[in-house]
Amino acid sequence: MHLPEAFESRMQRLLGQQYPEFRAALEQERALGLRINPARLTPKQVQSLPFLEGPVPWTPWGHYYASTSRPSAHPFFLGGGFYLQEPSAMAVAELAAPKPGQWVIDLCAAPGGKTTHLASFMQGQGVLVANEFTASRVPRLLENVERWGARTTVLSNPLDRIARKWERLFDVVVLDAPCSGEGMFRKDPEALSEWRQSTPERLGRLQQDLIEQAAALTAPEGTLVYSTCTFSEEENEQVIEGFLKKHPEFQLASAHLHPSFSAGFGLPEAARLFPHKLRGEGHFMAKLIRTDGEEGDVTYEEHAKVSKPSLKAWEEFRKAHLQGELDGVVIERAGHLYLVREHLPSLAGLKAPAPGIYLGEVKFERFVPAKALAHHLNLKQVSRPLEVGTAEAFKLEFGESVPVDAKDGWHWLHFAGVGFTWGVVKRGNLKPTPLRA
């Protein structure tokens, strides 16, 4: 790997005698990881996965997998049974560790790894908001949140707009800040090719602005987790040090989840993850606790009512295909139905591509279910499950039809109890739903 001279000089200064070991690590094969969805897979199903190579030590849901394998070719991947995620990146949500029922916001959420991880902690309770201010990255975020089956409100807004509206409302705020990506050079050649000597300082200024917005959202006694996947002090310790000087109401807590994590330079409570110290890429994490201040005033969302024709179509589908009611409020957006939290902070003035779980669309007075609804449900919640094999599951995922021996109408499609879409049968032909989030 050819590294820029300016980067090598910087790392030699930071690491001193450890630099040769660090440099050698970058020439090694990188570690690959996936994170289990505990709401989808049983321990027995996890044990059945043939490609696992041992646990990621800082999270109970993380596993390494062999570089010669393709986990995405397993049907459990289609059903959100696991998420492919760089092992070091799994530490961020573990550090945040929200509790069920809390209000949580992931501010730079795409592609969704940390959001889905946070969702596993919350167990379907509380409020989980995922925001991505780069519009081009929102579709990927929606797809991954949908596949995970998470109860999430997805936004696409500048951080200052959210901070002004929801000041001091969130128990947990995660800011995985845009950065120079030095810690991903081994994983991402594009990050290496785009790096310039001036990049860390330029992005450090952006990160100083972003952490101010994150702090404004943090409730009293709340947690703010700041992270990057880079090594530069300008984007890590200097951001935290500058923030703490201006904000005595925040205190730094330990981010050391595992003995392999190194102390921050001049900030021993912060954690650095180095590739020569552990099986993963480079990361930085700091955990800040707000110790003072008053909780913000909350205005709750006024949920859009569902029209009578749409409500009738939804209720007919629900009674025929679901076992019981769903937890939440059904709202309508121009014929599209969503399941949202009853108590959700007001979204007025915010761009929200998905205020909750996308249920489906009413067309010609009939309800067409979405994939997101299938991912949200389990075998006990549906009336007409239909199990398919591996080959059929992937054909359906890519929009192809398959022959089946089943009754006409809609079916919840699954592989070994893990749902991945809806399909409609007509005269022995099974066609997947066209609706995504």
Q: Find out whether 264 is annotated in a ligand binding site.
A: no
pLDDT tier, 250 (very low <50, low <70, confident <90, very high otherwise): very high
- Tell me the CA distances in angstroms from 385 to 316, 348, 368, 382, 411, one per residue in order: 17, 38, 16, 6, 6
pLDDT at 128 over 90: yes
For the CA atoms of 172, 177, 181, 184, the dihedral, rounded to the nearest 10 degrees, stands at 20
pLDDT, tens digit, for every residue of 343-388? 999 999 999 999 999 999 999 999 999 999 999 999 999 999 999 9
Residue 150 in contact with residue 119, Cβ under 8 Å?
yes
Residues 143 and 190 sit within 8 Å (Cβ to Cβ): no
Q: How far is CA 9 from the centre of its chain?
A: 35
- Examine residue 75 and say whether the peptide bond preceding it is cis (omega within 30 degrees of 0): no
Q: Is the pLDDT of residue 258 over 80?
A: yes
Is 293 a residue whose pLDDT tops 90?
no
Q: pLDDT exceeding 90 applies to what percent of the chain?
A: 96
Q: Determine if residue 431 is labeled as part of a ligand binding site.
A: no
Average pLDDT estimate for 255-277: 98
Q: Closest Cα to residue 102, out of 177, 7, 170, 26?
A: 170
Q: Is 5 assigned a ligand-binding role in the annotation?
A: no
Q: Which of 62, 143, 161, 156 is nearest to 106 (CA)?
A: 156
Average pLDDT over residues 8-19: 96
Q: What angle do CA 111, 33, 257 make, to 5 degrees?
A: 90
Torsions phi, psi of 173, nearest 5? -125, 125
Task: Work out the burial of residue 348: count CB atoms within 10 Å of its CB; fewer than 13 is exposed, 13-18 middle, 19 or more buried.
Answer: exposed
Token pair recorded at residue 230 = 């880079």
According to the model, what pLDDT value does residue 159 have? Answer: 97
Among the residue ranges 16-20, 290-294, 354-358, 409-413, the one predicted with the least confidence is 290-294
The answer on whether 112 is annotated among ligand-binding residues is yes
Residue 14 token pair: 């930071």
One-letter amino acid for residue 123 of the chain: Q
Domains of the chain (ranges; CATH) run 308-432 (3.10.450.720)
Q: Tell me, what amino acid is at 250?
A: F
Q: What is the DSSP letter of 345?
A: B
Measured between alpha carbons, how far is 311 from 290 in angstroms, rounded to an integer? 44
Determine the pLDDT at residue 17.
96
- Give residues with Cβ within 8 angstroms of 364, minimum separation 6: none
Q: Which residues pair with 184 in a beta bridge?
A: none
Q: What totals of helices (H) and strands (E) does the chain contain, helices first?
A: 14, 22
229: annotated active-site residue: yes
Q: Is position 179 annotated in a ligand binding site?
A: no
Residue 209 labelled as part of a binding site: no
Q: How far apart are CA 272 and CA 22, in angstroms?
A: 13
Nearest to 120 by CA among 142, 93, 95: 93
Q: Is the pLDDT of residue 436 over 90?
A: no
316 is known to lie in a ligand binding site: no
Q: Is the pLDDT of residue 437 over 80?
A: no
Give SS3 for 338.
Answer: strand
Residues 278 and 88: their CA atoms lie apart, in Å, by 9
Tell whether the model's pLDDT for residue 35 goes beyond 80: yes
Q: Which long-range contacts (CB under 8 A, 24 or more apart) does 329-336 make?
A: 329/303, 330/306, 330/359, 331/303, 331/304, 331/305, 331/306, 331/355, 331/356, 332/304, 332/305, 332/306, 332/307, 333/304, 335/310, 335/361, 335/362, 335/363, 336/360, 336/361
Cβ-proximal residues to 356 (8 Å cutoff; 6+ apart), any chain: 151, 152, 153, 328, 331, 338, 339, 340, 341, 344
Residue of 11, 119, 229, 386 with catalytic role: 229
Instruction: Give pLDDT, residue 304.
Output: 86
Nearest to 129, CA basis, from 90, 168, 102, 94: 102
Can you tell me the distance from the alpha carbon of 347 to that of 278, in angstroms, rounded to the nearest whole number? 41
CA distances from 132 to 115, 162, 180, 335, 387 (A): 11, 11, 18, 25, 35
Task: Return the half-sphere exposure (C-beta side, CA atoms, 13 A cut-off) of residue 276.
Answer: 13
Cα angle at 197 between 195 and 203, to 5 degrees?
70
Predicted confidence (pLDDT) per residue in 140-190, tens digit: 999 999 999 999 999 999 999 999 999 999 999 999 999 999 999 998 888
For residue 335, what pLDDT is reported? 94
What integer best gives the mean pLDDT of the chain? 96
What are the tens digits of pLDDT across the range 209-246?
A: 999 999 999 999 999 999 999 999 999 999 999 999 99
Q: Which two tokens stand for residue 103?
A: 């209000």
Global pTM?
A: 0.96
Residue in the block written with tokens 């997947």: 432
Q: What is the pLDDT of residue 435?
A: 85
176 is in an annotated binding site: yes
3-state percent breakdown (helix, strand, coil) of the chain, nearest 5: 35, 25, 40
